[in-house]
């Protein structure tokens, strides 16, 4: 367990230190959410209606931002070689790195979402709904992204390919995340079913993601 | 402990890098891997580290820890230093000591300081590793060898970028390791300060006549 704790602490440290990905994600989220009202104009009723969707899109793009460095940084400086030689199973290593990424990127987005929701004139109930669905849904984004990051690890300019690979796979998460958030505000649908499906998507991707990413890493190192 | 290779062959992107490599090392023995650039020295070390697929032949370790694979008992110091510039020197080494050492890291603090001192990095422990020179980075990655005990050392040109004093220190470390029953494989172009070592000269499968030649040369000895 020492190895797991050491890896988790190292990745969190790297993310929050200067040049790490954690603050960039939240800043990007802020910029995206701020830009959209400028594009749409000052129609508060419209913003209130599409606010949850804007927040979800912003969070999706922001959580992708630091993902391309998840394995590429370790590949470039040779750390990945040593990680592959460790006694820790590679699947566990991937899961720990994904957890560190979620703690440093996903959780700040969840915390920031209610604040940014003010820009979109969301009511407290809608703010809570968006934050809750993001809390449940962002682990799925991280785990799906980890698969893409592992596939793109040996490629130069892997970040762009990562976005192309990963964004289509996140569509179900986006659909059910926004559906659940809208349902909580008083849409035609009940809140329960889309929220449960969102939970299920997170759990499935947490089960599949580490194994798929580990397989991709092993294959990619050849 | 006994590390034996028979008929090892390496193929990278469809091209034979080397074929038919044999060696046999007992505990306390070192092997210098020699050869011109591109002969496959690094590939051989990476193959033993489990990072390159074994295309032909076999690699057997006898008498090691039964429950561990060969890569899990080996240290690999390659051309890349596996150092994070944003972490301090000590944090870098502490991470690898805990990650590679696993449960044995209980008395980590003392052994970390000892490892840093052996490679004359003690005074730099709190400096972010991004400020280190090439030789200091190399010393930091060599400090892993001291901080975590693993019986097999795979060193890819370990003396590059090191000053003369550190080269002697490294030679002393390697002699201690061999004395304690370890095994060392080092890819090198020059002497690394060890005596009584075995030598393996990789000719490379590419024929000296020209780069177009190697196709039919290799497959004959695939065992």
Contact of B184 with B30, CB cutoff 8 Å? yes
Q: How far apart are CA B203 and CA B17, in angstroms?
A: 9
Interface test with A, best of B14, B95, B144 (most A CBs within 10 A): B95
Bridge partner residues of B61 (DSSP):
B3
CATH assignment, B2-64+151-221: 3.40.50.300
- B15 to chain A, any CB pair closer than 8 A? The answer is no
Contact of B1 with B63, CB cutoff 8 Å? yes
The pLDDT, as a whole number, for residue B64 is 74
Contacts of residue A3 in chain B, CB cutoff 8 Å? 98-100, 102
Q: How confident is the model at residue A183 (pLDDT cuts 50, 70, 90)?
A: confident
Longest CA pairwise span in chain B (Å) = 57
Q: How confident is the model at residue A197 (pLDDT cuts 50, 70, 90)?
A: very high
Q: How far apart are CA A212 and CA A222, in angstroms?
A: 16
Contact of A98 with A143, CB cutoff 8 Å? yes
Q: How confident is the model at residue A97 (pLDDT cuts 50, 70, 90)?
A: very high
Of A18-22, A29-33, A129-133, the range with the lowest mean pLDDT is: A18-22
Determine whether the interchain pair A84/B96 forms a contact, defined as Cβ–Cβ distance below 8 Å.
Answer: no
Closest CA–CA distance from residue A67 to any residue of chain B (Å): 17
Q: Please give the average per-residue pLDDT across A12-22, as a whole number.
A: 79
Q: Does the pLDDT at position A155 exceed 80?
A: no
The pLDDT, as a whole number, for residue A1 is 67
Closest CA–CA distance from residue B106 to any residue of chain A (Å): 9
The pLDDT, as a whole number, for residue B70 is 83
* Cα angle: A85, vertex B137, A103; to 5 degrees: 60
- Write out the E strands in chain A: none
Q: In percent, how much of chain A has pLDDT > 70?
A: 96
Bridge partner residues of B186 (DSSP):
B32, B155
Q: In percent, how much of chain A has pLDDT > 90?
A: 28
Q: How far apart are CA A25 and CA A167, in angstroms?
A: 16
- Of B53, B71, B83, nearest to A77 by CB-CB distance is B83
Output A21 or B94, whichever has higher pLDDT: B94
Determine whether the interchain pair B84/A14 forms a contact, defined as Cβ–Cβ distance below 8 Å.
Answer: yes
Q: How confident is the model at residue A41 (pLDDT cuts 50, 70, 90)?
A: confident
Contact of A166 with A209, CB cutoff 8 Å? no
Q: What residues of chain B score a pLDDT lower than 50?
A: 207-223
The pLDDT, as a whole number, for residue B205 is 54
Contacts of residue B103 in chain A, CB cutoff 8 Å? 2
Q: B 137-196 residues with CB below 8 A of A?
A: none
- A89 to chain B, any CB pair closer than 8 A? The answer is no
Q: How far apart are CA B196 and CA B180, in angstroms?
A: 16
Q: Which residues contact B212 (CB under 8 A, 6 or more apart)?
A: none
The pLDDT, as a whole number, for residue B210 is 39
Q: How far apart are CA A193 and CA A191, in angstroms?
A: 6
The pLDDT, as a whole number, for residue B107 is 62
The pLDDT, as a whole number, for residue B213 is 38
Output B213 or A155, whichever has higher pLDDT: A155
- B86 to chain A, any CB pair closer than 8 A? The answer is yes
The pLDDT, as a whole number, for residue B16 is 82
């Amino acid at each position: 367990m020492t190895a797991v704790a050491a890896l988790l602490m190292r990745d969190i440290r790297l993310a929050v230190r200067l040049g790490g990905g954690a603050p960039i994600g939240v800043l990007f989220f802020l910029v995206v959410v701020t830009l959209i009202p400028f594009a749409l104009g000052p129609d508060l009723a419209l913003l209130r209606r599409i606010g949850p969707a804007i927040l979800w899109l912003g969070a999706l793009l922001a959580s992708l931002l630091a993902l391309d460095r998840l394995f590429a940084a370790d590949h470039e400086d040779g750390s990945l070689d040593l990680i592959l030689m460790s006694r820790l199973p590679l699947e566990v290593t991937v899961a720990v790195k994904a957890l560190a990424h979620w703690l440093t990127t996903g959780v700040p987005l969840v915390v920031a979402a209610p604040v940014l929701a003010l820009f979109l004139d969301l009511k407290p109930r809608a703010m809570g709904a968006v934050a809750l669905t993001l809390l449940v849904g962002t682990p799925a984004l991280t785990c799906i992204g980890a698969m893409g990051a592992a596939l793109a690890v040996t490629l130069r300019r892997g970040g762009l390919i990562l976005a192309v690979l990963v964004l289509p796979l996140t569509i179900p998460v986006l659909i059910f995340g926004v559906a659940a958030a809208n349902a909580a505000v008083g849409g035609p649908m009940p809140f329960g079913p889309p929220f449960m499906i969102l939970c299920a998507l997170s759990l499935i991707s947490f089960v599949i993601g580490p194994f798929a990413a580990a397989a991709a890493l092993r294959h990619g190192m050849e | 402990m006994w590390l034996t290779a028979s008929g090892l062959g390496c193929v990278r992107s469809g091209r034979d890098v080397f074929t038919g490599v044999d060696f046999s090392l007992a505990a306390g023995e070192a092997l210098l891997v020699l050869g011109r650039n591109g002969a496959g020295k690094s590939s051989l070390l990476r193959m033993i580290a489990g990072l390159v697929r074994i295309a032909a032949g076999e690699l057997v370790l006898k008498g090691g820890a039964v429950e561990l694979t060969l890569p899990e008992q080996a240290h690999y110091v390659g051309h890349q230093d596996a150092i994070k510039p944003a972490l301090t020197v000590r944090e870098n080494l502490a991470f690898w000591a805990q990650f590679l050492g696993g449960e044995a890291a209980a008395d980590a603090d003392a052994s970390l300081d000892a490892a840093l001192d052996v490679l004359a990095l003690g005074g730099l422990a709190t400096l972010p590793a991004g400020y280190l020179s090439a030789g200091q980075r190399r010393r930091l990655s060599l400090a892993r060898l001291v901080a975590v005990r693993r019986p097999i050392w795979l060193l890819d040109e370990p003396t590059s970028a090191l000053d003369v004093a550190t080269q002697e220190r490294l030679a002393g470390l390697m002699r201690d390791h061999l004395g304690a029953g370890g095994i060392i494989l080092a890819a090198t172009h020059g002497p690394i300060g060890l005596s009584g070592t075995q030598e393996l000269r990789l000719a490379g499968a590419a024929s000296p006549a020209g780069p177009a030649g190697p196709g039919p040369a290799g497959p004959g000895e695939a065992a």
